[in-house]
Amino acid sequence: MSTARWMLGLLAMGLFAPVVNGDEPAAKLPKVVLIGDSIRLSYTPEVVRQLKGKAVIVSPSANGQDSNNLLKHLAEWVIREQPDVVHFNCGIHDTKKFTKTGTFQVSPEDYEKNLRAIVQRIRKETSATVCFATSTPILDDRAAAARAGRDYQLLGNSIEQYNAIAIQVMSELNVPVDDLHSAVTTSRPPLAVEALLGSDGVHFTAAGVELLGQQVAGFLQEQLVTLDRD
């Protein structure tokens, strides 16, 4: 089964709708909001499974797409939830590089501005701990073959460029970073990056989704421990 069909199957089953998990009443559990693109949508069910009984997981069914779109929908996806922790990502859509102009969907300068605005608004309008997840790698040859005829490219070096911007911003703003990019690229055979990424070079196989879900859940558990100490 292709990665795209597998993800559509999960969507059809409603696994990407906002979920409340755990046996305890939701009011007693910390609330975690996950926002991001289709990569986030794919690993949400594994995060829910891993954190059952430990947190309420809210994961909007909409694809967050680029940083402009995420900033536009903060009130809907984050602010109104008043969560304890926010785990967010944007980057892959921002790096769409248009072949005619050589420009990105969101320029590096605007990407940096948007990231700062996202963090600042969440902190201003909620009391949540804000966390950022780096964008996952791209296999250029697969991505190019799967998108032949489109007016843009998705490139691994663009992901690295934008991740570097994000990491610098988050360091300055004292935002914890969940390095999903490194989690994938440092994985060893038989789960090396070529086995974790699907045929389109961007989305993940079932094994890749499981790895990401476990990485995110483990990272969030560390943040929840910090909440308990506070």
Give me the torsion for CA of 100, 4, 94, 217, rounded to 10°.
Answer: -160
CATH of range 3-225; options 3.30.70.1290, 3.40.50.1110, 3.40.50.2300, 3.90.1150.10 = 3.40.50.1110
Q: Is 83 exposed, middle or buried (0-12, 13-18, 19+ CB in 10 A)?
A: buried
* pLDDT tens for each residue of 190-227: 899 999 999 999 999 999 999 999 999 999 999 999 88
Which tokens is 126 given? 């909620």
Parse the chain into domains and list their residue ranges. Answer: 3-225
Q: Is the pTM higher than 0.85?
A: yes
Helices 156-173 and 108-125, packing angle to 10 deg: 40
* pLDDT tens for each residue of 137-159: 999 999 999 999 999 999 999 99
pLDDT, average across residues 11-25: 45
